[in-house]
Amino acid sequence: MGLLEEKDKQFLREKFSKEMDKKVKIIFFSNELNCQYCKEIRMLLEEVTELSDKIEFQEFNFVTDKEEAEKYNLEDSPVIVFLNEDGEDTGIRFYGIPSGYEFTTFIEDVVMISSGKHQLSEKAVEEISKIDKPIEIKVFVTPTCPYCPKAVFLAHQLAYINKNITGKMIESMEFGEWAQKYNVYGVPKSVVNDVVEFEGAVPEKVFVKQVLEAYKKADSSLIVQ
């Protein structure tokens, strides 16, 4: 028995048919020796891939395919990586299973990468385009958090429009050591370059300002308004 109900599959078939344009490649790095949900993640990705000929899926082992994992600077597994039609890394990551509310984010990412359409304001795009140094946005979540997808999708959109940014969803229960390291007591919690932290599903303007604040610490020439 699959993870997606038939009515959900039909909805996604129609959505992908209407909204997808270019191909999207999804790469899954598993680790069967220490992975609670690898089987479910694989099954979910396979089911989604079957719903559109514009979605490609490939799996690697995080341990034995180390060269592939290093190509995307991956620290741990399980993790999902998104590439565009040209095979370019979008900077979008899912550390852990994109289940519950985060499945919606996963689907929106697929459509965004395929269609080239995001939901960011022109002002946000203008400001984020100034970033010319590596920025890493970690967003800690739980599958039952209804506010987390907003924060994750913002991070993923920023990564999509600027190749210097990596946006990571991190499922707090699966990556307990990371959650403990970053003192995650409530979700969503966002950590930018390990120097700026904030909690909650903040508005786009606030989220972008926090990201720019982290960038400012690396580039004092940028003045955050």
Q: For 140-199, how does the pLDDT look when each residue is reduced to its tens digit (9 = 90+)? A: 999 999 999 999 999 999 999 999 999 999 999 999 999 999 999 999 999 999 999 999
The SS3 call for residue 161 is helix
Confidence (pTM): 0.95
Does residue 106 fall inside a structural domain?
yes
The SS3 call for residue 132 is coil
Domains identified in the chain, total number: 1
Asked whether the predicted pLDDT for residue 59 surpasses 60, the reply is yes
Does residue 112 fall inside a structural domain?
yes
Q: Residue 139: give its domain's CATH number.
A: 3.40.30.80
Does residue 118 fall inside a structural domain?
yes
Please state the rounded mean pLDDT for residues 60-87: 97
The SS3 call for residue 29 is strand
Q: How many CA atoms lie within 13 A of 134 on its CB side?
A: 5
Task: For the chain, count helices (H), then strands (E).
Answer: 8, 8
Instruction: Tell me which residue of 103, 104, 183 sits closest to 140, measured CA to CA.
Output: 183
Does residue 28 fall inside a structural domain?
yes
Does residue 181 fall inside a structural domain?
yes
Does residue 86 fall inside a structural domain?
yes
Query: Where would I find the H helices in the chain?
Result: 6-19, 38-49, 66-71, 102-115, 122-128, 148-161, 176-181, 204-218
- The dihedrals phi and psi of 138, each to the nearest 5 degrees, come to -100, 130
Does residue 57 fall inside a structural domain?
yes
Instruction: Tell me which residue of 216, 160, 175, 176 sits closest to 192, measured CA to CA.
Output: 216
Does residue 1 fall inside a structural domain?
no
Please state the rounded mean pLDDT for residues 59-71: 96
Asked whether the predicted pLDDT for residue 94 surpasses 50, the reply is yes
Domain span at 158: 6-218
